[in-house]
Amino acid sequence: MLSRRDLLTAGSVASLFGLAAPLVARAQSTRTAMPVLRPSAPTPTFELANGLQVVVLPSNRAPIVTQMLWYRVGSCEEAPGKSGIAHFLEHLMFKGTPNVPSGAFSKIIARAGGRDNAFTSYDYTAYHQNVAADQLDRIMRMEADRMANLVVTEKELLPERDVVLEERRQVVESRPSALLDEVAREALYGRQGYGIPIIGFADEIARLGVDDAKSFYDRHYAPNNAVLIIAGDTTVDAVRALADKYYAPIARKDVPARTRPSAVGTGLPRQVERRDRRVAQPEWSRDWLAPSYRMGETGHVYALQVLAQALGGGQTGRLYRVLVLDRKVALDASAGYSAQALGWSAFGINVTPAAQRTMDQTAGDAKQVVDQVLRDGVTGEEIDLAKQRLLAAAIYARDSLSSGPRMYGSTLTTGGTIADVDEWPARIAAVTREQVMSAARDVLADQRHVTSLLLPEGSG
């Protein structure tokens, strides 16, 4: 599950996929060559008669395979008053079927030396296993089984609901920054879609029951609403044979159309704050509404990814160089942006002020950097370095049995195509300085933004 800072303001969100952390590198005094973009064969993919899309990413570097099953459903598909049901169902998917007893799914995989987990986001839910290559038949059989045959009972649901409520207490309510994030997201998007926490509101989670889980499962868990990705030591023919054996018999369903609110950002700009005795270090951040691949001025998305890296790419980013290294008015500074969403996204910057620096001063410090970018743009050297880091991150991600499938899964469940992933490096390499400046002026000069202040209790 991702928090607002994971999605909006963390420096690691600078890549297309919001998944692969950019490489940390020292600033260069001279420009260096871009990573080589070698043409590659199209990524193997096929579709079963029931609508399940299958992607195969063969790699024989090690005798292991990863299976990821992505559903085109996330917390944004929840009905009003049912927040948290998408994430709750993710938990309940491990509670068993007539063929696999409750709790046995993960134990079977662990006994075979493998690992498994799952995650829920706003636009998708995914389940994954990493096992020895000779276990692929087993994990495909088990994953297909729970796509069609999940059993949800009150006996299983009630204690798991308590687990989710405890999870919320640990990851949200015990963290002042997470509580502030919830308020900031609601201010930016409204109490809808991306403005509602993935984990849900505690009072609504506490009311979720068996009928809610079954209804959500029956409406959204279907082969024609899913993407199966197999990576590792296997072949397309082997995957096709197993997919035909285990997934093909599952009937397709009439799945609800997916929509995202286009009317967001009303009543902005706005400032929100949280004062809490648990805050040891103040933070200042600002998030602007920004286009995604699917909504808004989509022509800016590749330039915005380069801009986020140029501004916030670790110690080479302009925010860090100016505020931390040169002026020493901040302890840390970053920027982040992900275009991977069905609805509006956001472009964010985050500053941790130096000791004795007030929030007004910090806001002024950040504004000076942004205003200079809006006035003069970023340099050609900054753009080249930003591209290098993004392309290098993509190259390393493709080699990973975890990041590679995530690149394809997150794209295909948010309206993208195989070509969008395969051609992304070339699209980033083609971004010009003029495009970056145009995108910056369109987004960062916009008044549709939320400023967040995280402060110690009793501070001025």
Residues marked as catalytic = 90
Q: Cα 369 to chain center, whole Å?
A: 27
DSSP, residue by residue, 399-447: T-TTHHHHHHHHHHTTT--HHHHHTHHHHHHT--HHHHHHHHHHHTT-S
Listed in sequence order, the residues at least 6 apart from 326 whose beta carbon sits closer than 8 Å to its beta carbon are none
Q: Which DSSP category does 57 fall into?
A: E
- Angle subtended at Cα 384 by Cα 381 and Cα 389, rounded to the nearest 5 degrees: 125
The token pair that represents 440 in the structure block: 């910056």
Other C-beta atoms lying within 10 Å of the C-beta of residue 335: 29
Q: Is 328 left (phi over 0), alpha (psi -120 to 50) or beta?
A: left
- Angle subtended at Cα 256 by Cα 262 and Cα 56, rounded to the nearest 5 degrees: 95
Pairing of strands 270-276, 449-456: parallel
Largest CA distance in the chain: 66
Alpha-carbon distance of 291 to 432, in angstroms, equals 18
